[in-house]
Structure 1
Amino acid sequence: MPHADSLILTLVGGFVLAFVFGMIANRLKLSPLVGYLVAGIVVGPYTGGFVADTTLAPQLAEIGVILLMFGVGLHFSPDDLMKVRKVAIPGALFQIAAATFLGWGLGRLLGFGNVEAVLTGFALSVASTVVLLRALEERKQVKGEIGRIAVGWLIVEDLVIVIALVMLPLLIVQPGETLSGGELAASIGWTLAKVAVFVGAMLVVGPKVLPWVLVRIAHTRSRELFTLGVLAIALGIAWVAYAMFHSFALGAFLAGLVLNSSPLGHNAAERSLPLRDAFAVLFFVSVGMLFDPSILLREPLAVFGVLGIVIVGKALAALVITHRFKLDRATGLTVAASLAQIGEFSFILAALSMSLGALSRQTHDLILAAALLSISLNPFVFALVDRLGARPKPPAKGSEEGIALAKEEAAAVNPATG
């Protein structure tokens, strides 16, 4: 059995190097995601030395995608979104449209077909939740108006991506296949009907069944069984969604959304967090393994172009919307800087597009290069907007933001009170 140790070697190599490079990135005041991606590049087939199992890593990454989407559902708050819906919904949709249009234009200049060019722009339009929350937490703005707007904005982007992940396999015609307009419409209609039935069942039956199951498990007073129960729900529902319409993402998201509304939703999030973090790391490592760093030397102008769309194009689109809704300068600049990067959902969309034959390896590498560079440059973007007037002001002591900040500081000093 020459490959019997491939799983162990992949896990050891991925986790150890992700830890080492993640620590280095953290010391350099960069997001640990940069370190995880670099770890993947190091163990990938495009660099010398140890090479991880390139067929096994994507399967581990798929589990990471499921748990990431489960986490998005667990932390999705319809109430928070409704508070900022007047800005977040049109802002997110406008920014997605602007980035997609700019990506299409750049893609056509680079010689891409229309479908590949549109998918490139679409992949560049979605910011990373992990990077955004980290930046706002460092600035103590998660609980304030700026944080609510930025997070609500990102929630809308995430929902658009979930829908896209379901619909994309239907819209991409494989080479050699021909579909008439009627056949395509019938296929889309049938899939949408299955999605509607699945979503309806989850939102109607799920809130009655899943919390009941969790309560029964909690009565066993076994932490292990509760954790296994949460993971079984997430993975099981994701598998059902995949069997119905080839999308792990929607099932995992809905499972998290239903559990989020249950009395034990907080406990479910807490129990699944360590495993979600671990497989999320493997997800980013596997993405790095797919990246050929030589594209930075082979196509520097193309890399510069996609990076310009992410940092400049998306930021300007956010500024247009925030100005249109008469938000103050500091809020507009901070939201723009928060969204001037791309991450996990761009990777997922690019990988799916490549597997469907709609995206070339080179275009996939361009998107990964834009992600790696934009995440690395995000702290410098914040430093720039601070100079332009986005530096956060300390909230008044008696205000809602001031009270929330005081609680966070007290929890940091004495975790038992948090």
Structure 2
Amino acid sequence: LALSVASTVVLTRVLSDRGELHTATGRIAVGWLIVEDVFTVVVLVLLPELVGDNAAGFGQVAAALALALGKMAALVVLTLVVGQRVVPWVFGQVAATRSRELFTLTVLVVALGIAVGSAKVFGVSMALGAFLAGMIVGRTEFSLRAAVEALPMRDAFAVLFFVASGLLFDPAAVLRTPWAFLATSAIVLVSKPLAALVVLRWLGQPLSTGLAVGLSLGQIGEFSFILATLGRTLDVLPEAAVQILVGTALLTMTLNPFLMGTTVIWNNWYRRSQRGHSKAVLAPAPEPDTGSGLLHRAVVVGYGPVGQSITRLLRENGVVPTVVELNLETVRRLQAEGFQAVYGDADRQEVLVSAGVADAKGLILSASGLTNSREIIRCVRELNPEIRILVRAHFASEGAALRGAGATAVVVDESEVALGCIEVILRELGATAEQIDRERDRLRASPKAER
């Protein structure tokens, strides 16, 4: 049984690194994991009643099963009904403070609070509680920012998980039973993916999806350790078997990213074999023209007075703007008015990706007080080397550094203020339009007036 439960930590990390977490493959794999986790919770409840010195009769087993299922149902209902009202309100109040540290801490408190409460009050696994917490946050308008702020914590907890796994492992115990270790690893690496592939093909999923999901499930992790520990406590699993299980988990978690990378090879081989058996190969259908305007899109960071003017100008000239803004009320208002708006901090790569920087023709950093403009520019250049970047700067001395980071053009606040003052003064002195234009051009050509 412990060999049938894949690691949530490993699977989500591998899918996330491959950019497949939100694809059909990712949704099916995560759904499969949820079913495994729920089934494992039921097993953890029933196992002490079925084996050991305190084994119970059928009536007590049925009562324990009914109680476990009732608690899980109550947890789901309470979390979804109450959580959908309370959690968004809490995040809204925290977001209003404009404090990134407080928002990150709130994400951690909500996730751990629901996870620990699920384990202590309802007797289910912390993993199931954490999943429900993520599902609640994911259905709110704070989902993107919460996911971005939680990334460092996710990586830290993943590291701790692997450290804890290494502490449990005794290589000498595995070397004493090498054939048992290899047979166990073969079950996880071969039998599990094949079983998943057969089930998904039977359900009508394409071969590529079934193969990717099957390979992603070819590993075991945290729930396997929990089941093994319980089996050891109940004296139904010897220590040697626990060590084989731990060794198999470490091996399969290490190999899983590489196995996932072979899906492209297998899919290409399958297409070539099918093409060889086909009498005719149909040309692919042309992509429909959706008129989405992807060739004329721009991302505007900040929706203050400058950002509002730029956004209006873009829309009037047939360019579709997407606004990135850290003010929640502004994002809500823009979305209500039909604008594309993303709530989050522009110095986070995930926020930029969500805003569509990779497909945009231009990026305008219009927000005032951006202290990390150069980091944003470098990140955007990695996502889209051809994009044109217009940056707003406070001082002329910042221009060279911003251009060195990859900015296409820099507009300096103090230079524009000087231009405005000069124009007013010259008009008061009775200067002609040509004289005003000449002074304006001279100031803009000055090295200190970086543009």
Give the structure-1-normalised TM-score. Answer: 0.58
Tell whether 2:165 aligns with 1:287: yes
1:238 pairs with 115, 121, 127, which one?
A: 115
**Paired residue for 1:365, among 225, 243, 246?**
243
Q: How does 1:162-173 map to 2 (within 5 A)?
A: 162-165=38-41, 167-173=43-49
What is the rounded CA distance, in whole Å, between the counterparts of 1:286 and 1:139 in structure 2?
25
Kept in 2: contact 1:169–1:356 (CA 8 A) = no
- Tell me if 1:125 matches 2:4: yes
Contact kept, 8 Å, 1:310 with 1:341, in 2: the verdict is yes
Partner residue in 2 for 1:253: 131
2:274 paired residue number: none
Measured against aligned partners, the alpha-carbon deviations of 1:157-202 in whole angstroms (never above 9, x if no partner) come to 2333134225513432364324222222223323332332222111
What's the offset of the Cα at 1:286? 0.7
Distance in structure 2 (CA, Å) of the matches to 1:256 and 1:139: 21
Structure 2 CA distance for aligned equivalents of residues 234 and 337 of structure 1 = 29
- SS for the counterpart of 1:242 is helix
Residue 157 (structure 1) aligned with residue 36 (structure 2): no
Task: Tell me if structure 2 keeps the 8 A contact 1:227–1:268.
Answer: yes
Superposed CA RMSD in Å reads 3.8
Cα 1:306/1:350, change in 2 over 3 Å? same
Tell me if the contact between 1:165 and 1:349 (Cα under 8 Å) persists in the aligned partners: no
Match of 2:71 among 190, 194, 197: 194
Q: 2:24–2:209: 8 Å Cα contact kept in structure 1?
A: no
1:374 aligned partner: 252
Structure with more relative contact order (C-alpha pairs < 8 Å, separation 6 or more): 1
- Is 1:185 matched with 2:62? yes
Residue 314 in 1 paired to residue 192 in 2?
yes
Describe the superposition over 1:272-325 as per-residue Cα deviations: whole angstroms up to 9, x where unpaired. Answer: 221232122112211110111113311111111111111221232233234435
Q: Output the CA distance in 2 between the equivalents of 1:364 and 1:288.
A: 13
C-alpha change, 1:265 and 1:157, in structure 2 (3 Å) is same
Letter in 2 for 1:301: W
Structure whose CA Rg is larger: 2
Q: Indicate the SS of the match to 2:54.
A: coil
Could you say which residue in structure 1 is the equivalent of 2:308?
none
Aligned length: 290
- For the residues of structure 2 that align with 1:190 and 1:319, how far apart are their CA atoms? 34
What is the one-letter code of the residue matched to 1:269?
A
Contact 2:5 2:224 in 1 (8 A): yes
3-state DSSP of counterpart to 1:282: helix
Deviation at 1:241, TM superposition (A): 1.7
Q: Which runs of 5+ in 1 are unaligned?
A: 1-121
Contact 1:296 1:369 in 2 (8 A): yes
Partner of 1:301: 179
CA distance in 2, matches of 1:132, 1:286: 18
Note closer, same or farther for the CA distance 1:246–1:358 as it changes in structure 2 (3 Å cut).
farther
- AA aligned to 2:36 is V
1:249 is displaced (CA, Å) by: 2.6
8 Å CA contact 1:150, 1:338 repeated in 2: no
Partner of 2:217: 339
Q: Equivalent residue for 1:32? A: none
From 222, 225, 238, the equivalent of 2:99 is 222
SS at match of 2:4: coil
Structure-2 change in CA distance of 1:353 and 1:210 (3 Å): farther
